Structure 1
Amino acid sequence: MVSRLDASSASEDALALREWLVVGLGASLLAVSVSYLVAGSDSLASEFVRLSVPIALSLFLVALGVWVRATGIPSDVVAVWSVAGAVVMGLIAGWVSLLQSMQGRPMLQPAYIVLTEVGLGAVGGGLLGVYYGRVRQRTEQLAEQRNRLDEFASIVSHDLRNPMNVAQGHLELARETGEERHFEAVEGAHERMERLVDEVPALSRRGETVEDPTPVDLDAVAREAWATVETPGMVLHTEVDATVVSDGRRLRALFENLFRNAAEHGGDEVTVGSLSGESAPDSKGFYVADDGPGIPADDRERIFEGGYSTRTDGTGFGLAIVRRIAEAHDWRIRVTESQSGGARFEFVDAGDE
């Protein structure tokens, strides 16, 4: 039976191999051209002149493969187009040879002619593959933007409209009766709309990566976040004396949403700690745990979906924002149970798993 670690290693090896497919194709064509150069019957200078074009095309293909890998364009897509171009030109060369044989000429073309045609096909196909890859990337980006706009539209049409209707209804009742409870309901509806306005821009940054992270003190950021969240009667315990390389502003937003989530679900205490100080000394990262009712195992993936909430008055975007911030830092989130039976969110660098 293949272990999970072995399967992950094999997947990484396959991914690394795909990234070098175009370079490998160019190197193979170069090796064939050089072998004909060395084994040629004429002088080395004559053979070099004949094979200079296929050698140059091979080197260009190698350079193209390195560039494609650096820019993030799918190398396997470019490789498929390069191979297709080489095959098409090879078939054309074969067809030309067949026509020459029908006219009484030698059927086989010189090697440098065939290599030049195949090289041109590979390079031409590779360039078309680059164009196709860029078009596909742009299409995916546009699809992502469209999905994001759809998500925002659902927020505005549903979550924002509901508190507006509540505020309008209670305002009319307040004018008629003058009762204080209607004004309180209007105030509560406005507070919820304000939270939505604050959370939507944070959610829109889900695709951004952290380009210039700096060492940030976890204890200080956690306490700053705690001071900005309404946590009546709750207590914060910080059991961490470490720094994490991150964007301090977005890290504070991560803590704010986790603290607000704990407050909304009836917790009394929240703990921020370091994973390296626990039973597994090699573990890196940090965690946020509370003593609330916890999260059922079946819901631990759904809680990060935008708009999902177990509370009727919740926006459902707090934990979605937490996931976006973690993804921007290339962190992985593990949701488990705290020692007191509440929810525990662990954040581990993806490279350390």
Structure 2
Amino acid sequence: MLKTLKLSNQTMRVQDFKLSDAGAHPNKVPFKCALFAVDQPSDGSPSGAGGKKIRISSEVCDQCLHTFVGMALNIDYANGMADHDPRFKVAVIEKAYRSLDGYAWIDGYIYAKDFPDVVATIRYYNGLAAEYSWSEYQFGASLEMEASVVGAADLEDVLDVTDFCGTGAAILFAEAAAYRTTSFAAKNNKPKEEVVNDMTPEQIKAMEDGMKLLQESMTSITASVQSVVTEVGSIKSDLTSMKAASAEAEQKSVEEQAAADLKAANDKAEALEKELADLKAGKTTLTPPEPERKTVSAANLLSKYGKVEETSTTDYKSFCASVDALNLPSSESMKLKFQAKAKFAEKESV
């Protein structure tokens, strides 16, 4: 059965935390940490072990230690760096291995540019521990894992881990770690710098309180930033909707104009087709006929050709003789004679 175990409440051997060389990646401070001792019970009971200590054998360590690779390290500012805070991850594990002296080690790096306060805090307290042998201020690491355990056959208050999956670790004060012999340190090729400290315990306590307030302020700022991000996202969504509506309206207007132009072109084409059909059928002449002048007399028909005697238009026969005397084109002469014939026919009917 898998149990979630978090190791805490122990001390560690002292090692300095040192920053990486200036030429290294600006956001990476390498670290190396002895995570737990193999083949021996833990100094205290981890969370989730029911008050019992745990023991991880060399065989189980070799089989499962690789599961820590890629997992993160967290630090708990809110509780004085003495516990786990899985949601405040500041580092990542790149390598996990067992050394010949009986320890499980992890290597990785802290995000130094993202968390400069974490780097400064570890460096400061490790310096105090190194200079004054204040082991309670030494930083170490406490593992986090899900594990299968059975009661140890040789020890009553110990659980043997038969299988585990590493889920992370916490950077915390040595007095709070589960294995007292673990340590946390960062690689550095620079010569060791002398650590000078003239702070009183009261000043140290005030600085710790200040860091706790800083963490609370960071939480508040994070919430405010998230609120602003949400509002900006809403504004972007509204702008996108407005642009889409404008584009749709513009597209609709273009489509309506294109439809109107197409209808006009179709109407014109239909009219031309009808006119062409009429021409082919002989229904349309190129020269429209003159409008009928119902009141014009036979004399008036010849008036545009000069002065004509009224007596020459008294009957249809004399009118035709007058037309022939004008030597008009045959088509025009025939037109005048037909028109005059109609007029004389109207007279006779009256």
Please tell me the TM-score bracket, short chain as reference: under 0.3
Question: How does the TM-score come out when normalised to structure 2?
Answer: 0.22
Question: How does the TM-score come out when normalised to structure 1?
Answer: 0.22
Which of 1 and 2 has higher RCO (CA within 8 Å, sep 6+)?
2
Q: Write 1 or 2 for the structure with the bigger share of strand.
A: 2
